[in-house]
């Protein structure tokens, strides 16, 4: 009985200080897990197929990938990020930017459903404004356009939520009008989604 009381007191004390140690008596975080040996993982999360996310920062293994719940976009997004860069070193008034060196008529093909979450663009033309479009082409050839305005030669969008499906490919285009723009580069970030 005394042992149970001692364990209960220790548990209450560890909860009261908001620090819990597993494998250590001196935790250095709210939860500090130390494995007793190098050949034993410190943490195991069982894979889930369809967890319900409710708050930012929740973690889940879905399939064989680690995800964080993004409360802003209301979905699970992978920890890993894929980055795609486009550009054109010359003057461009309308048409696709180059991808992977010198490819204009296609772009990266998405291997799994994902969300475009960030976009940055820059031009060597300085303070020029220009309409820009992210074009998503699906397997049937249907193109969905998402237009944005490049202002003073620059654009940073940190809260995008453009969904792309497996098999879609992405292009970035300058939209006709407003005159040509020089040295345009664009980078998009995608995260796999559940």
Write the CATH number for 126. Answer: 2.60.120
Q: In angstroms, how far is CA 192 from the centroid of its own chain?
A: 7
Of the candidates 172, 164, 126, 168, the one whose C-alpha atom is nearest the C-alpha of residue 148 is 172
pLDDT given for residue 15 in this prediction = 55
Q: For residue 75, is pLDDT > 90?
A: yes
37, part of any domain: no
Q: Which residue has the tokens 């979905």?
A: 75
Query: Residue 88: which pLDDT band, with cuts at 50, 70 and 90?
Result: confident
155, part of any domain: yes
pLDDT given for residue 102 in this prediction = 67
132, part of any domain: yes
Count of domains forming the chain = 1
109, part of any domain: yes
Query: Residue 11: which pLDDT band, with cuts at 50, 70 and 90?
Result: low
Strand partners, 95: 174
Domain membership of residue 131 as a residue range = 80-192
Q: Both tokens of residue 170?
A: 């992405």
7, part of any domain: no
166, part of any domain: yes
The mean predicted confidence, pLDDT, of the chain is 86
Please indicate whether residue 128 or residue 170 has the higher confidence score (pLDDT): 170
62 with 79: CB under 8 angstroms? no
Strand, coil or helix: 51: coil
**CA pair distance 116, 9, nearest whole angstrom:** 49
**CA pair distance 118, 74, nearest whole angstrom:** 16
Cα 139–Cα 145–Cα 151 angle in degrees, nearest 5: 145
Q: What is the pTM of this model?
A: 0.77
184, part of any domain: yes
Please indicate whether residue 32 or residue 70 has the higher confidence score (pLDDT): 70
Of the candidates 95, 98, 62, 92, the one whose C-alpha atom is nearest the C-alpha of residue 79 is 62
CB atoms within 10 A of CB 42: 11
pLDDT given for residue 12 in this prediction = 58
91-148 tens-digit pLDDT: 888 888 888 766 777 788 899 999 999 999 998 876 788 899 999 999 999 999 999 9
46, part of any domain: no
Cα distance from N-terminal residue to C-terminal residue, the chain: 48
Please indicate whether residue 49 or residue 16 has the higher confidence score (pLDDT): 49
């Amino acid at each position: 009985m005394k042992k149970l009381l001692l364990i209960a007191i220790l548990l209450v004390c560890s909860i009261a200080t908001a620090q819990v140690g597993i494998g250590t008596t001196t935790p250095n975080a709210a939860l500090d897990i130390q494995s007793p040996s190098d050949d034993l993982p410190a943490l195991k999360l069982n894979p889930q197929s369809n967890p319900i996310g409710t708050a930012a920062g929740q973690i889940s293994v879905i399939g064989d990938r680690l995800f964080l719940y993004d409360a802003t976009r209301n979905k699970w997004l992978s920890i890993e990020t894929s980055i795609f860069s486009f550009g054109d070193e010359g003057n461009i008034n309308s048409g696709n930017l180059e991808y992977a060196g010198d490819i204009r008529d296609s772009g990266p093909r998405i291997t799994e459903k994902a969300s475009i979450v960030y976009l940055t663009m820059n031009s060597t033309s300085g303070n020029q404004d220009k309409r820009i479009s992210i074009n998503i082409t699906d397997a049937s050839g249907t193109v969905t356009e998402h237009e944005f305005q490049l202002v003073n030669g620059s654009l940073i969008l940190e809260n995008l939520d453009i969904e792309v499906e497996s098999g879609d490919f992405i292009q970035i285009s300058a939209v006709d009008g407003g005159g040509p723009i020089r040295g345009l580069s664009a980078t998009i970030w995608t995260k796999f989604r559940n």
